[in-house]
Amino acid sequence: MPSGRVLIDEERCKGCGLCIAACPQKVLAFSGKINRSGYNYVHMEHPEKCVGCAFCAMTCPDVAIEVYREKVAA
C-alpha cells in the first residue's frame, strides 16, 4: 500500500477547508495557528493515514498543496 506525504504552503493557504472536506482518509485539519495573512492554515493531523491520493491538492484553489507518494516495503 502506498504512503503519502502532503506539503502545504502555510503562507499560501487561506484556510478555506476544501482540502479537509476532500480527503477520504481524514488526514488534514486546521492547525490552530495563523499565517502572516491572518488565515488559520491546514496541516497533516494524521500523516500515518495518508495514501497519496492527491484529492486535497486537486481541490485547493490556491495551489498551496503538493502530494508525494512513497512505496512502503512489505
For residue 66, give its domain range.
2-71
How many domains does one find in the chain?
1
What pTM value is reported for the model? 0.89
Q: What CATH number has the domain bearing residue 67?
A: 3.30.70.20
Contact 60, 68 (CB under 8 A): no
Measuring CA to CA, which residue among 2, 1, 12, 21 is closest to residue 67?
A: 2
d(CA 39, CA 41) in angstroms, rounded, equals: 6
Q: What is the pLDDT along the chain (74 residues), one digit of tens a residue?
A: 678 999 999 999 999 999 999 999 999 999 999 999 999 999 999 999 999 999 999 999 999 999 999 876 66
CB count within 10 Å of CB 44 equals 19
**Phi, psi (rounded to 5 degrees) for 57:** -65, -35
